[in-house]
Amino acid sequence: ENDAGTVTQVKPQKKLKRPRLYRVLLHNDDYTTREFVVLVLRHIFHLDEQSAIRVMLHVHNNDVGVAGVFTREVAETKIEKVEAMAREQEFPLRLTMEPEEEEA
Ligand code: TYC
């Protein structure tokens, strides 16, 4: 309390936690072209050409793979963008997201 009788209420310091991160998973299908998947990995997920090809082939051979790791909103936006691009070309490409394990 100061001389004017004013009390300054101090908010309890909220701990600044790192936001939870989400893996964006790319799923294989028989119809989406390899070129389209590589284009998406380069343009939306910002992988260089070699990494994009590596991830595309991994998904092709293993059915699922990680396109990238992002905060929830960024992950959601990328999935929406890619699905809109795929639908435009009538590709059934599917992406999902899953939270990373919480660190200790
Ligand atoms: N399996 C597709 C093909 O042979 C290529 C592909 C790879 C499709 C990755 C989707 O997420 C995917 N044309």
99 contact partners, CB below 8 Å, separation of at least 6 = 20, 21, 22, 23
Q: How far, in Å, from the CA of 59 to the mean position of ligand 1?
A: 7
Torsion sign, CA atoms 25, 87, 42, 73? negative
Ligand 1 pocket check: which of 26, 30, 37, 54 to mutate, most ligand atoms within 8 Å of Cβ?
37
Q: What is the pLDDT of residues 84-99, one digit of tens each?
A: 999 999 999 999 999 9
Amino acid identity, residue 7? V
Closest CA to 69 of 100, 31, 29: 100
The backbone torsions φ and ψ at residue 84, rounded to the nearest 5 degrees and listed phi first, read -65, -45
49 close to 38: Cβ distance less than 8 angstroms? yes
Percent pLDDT > 70 in the chain is: 97
**Is ligand 1 within 6 A of the CB of residue 32?**
yes
What torsion do the CA atoms of 27, 101, 41, 60 make, to the nearest 10 degrees?
A: -30
* pLDDT over 90 at 103, yes or no: no
- Rounded to two decimals, what is the model's pTM? 0.86
pLDDT at position 67 is 98
Question: What are the structure tokens assigned to 70, written together?
Answer: 């992002």
Identify whether the C-beta of residue 20 lies closer than 8 Å to the C-beta of residue 102: yes
In short, whether 59's Cβ falls inside 6 Å of ligand 1 is yes
Nearest residue (by CA) to ligand 1, atom 13, is 33
With a 6 A CB cut-off, is 34 part of the ligand 1 pocket? yes
